[in-house]
Amino acid sequence: MTPFTRRFTGSLLMVAGALLLLAQLLRFGIAAVEWQRGLWTNTGYTYLVLTVLMLVVAVLLMRFGWRMRRDGHISDEPGDHSIT
């Protein structure tokens, strides 16, 4: 990829991750209010697990976008990432 394309793709990943993080934080807040009011049902646990999972996905999207913008590599492994 060209440097411009790499930076643009990284920026899109960071924006997508930030929007997903914002949405999941709002969703988590709604779940907390429902739990405090006693409106929590058995399906609420699935809702909570999926919300936390999506929070992790949002952070990973932002991290991958940051790495893509910075040096174009998603992996943290040392070396030049070439197959010998």
Nearest to 53 by CA among 64, 65, 61: 61
DSSP state letters, 32-82: HHHHHHT---THHHHHHHHHHHHHHHHHHHHHHHHHHHHTS-----SS---
pLDDT in tens, 42-78: 557 788 788 889 999 999 999 989 888 887 655 566 6
Kindly report the pTM of this predicted structure: 0.73
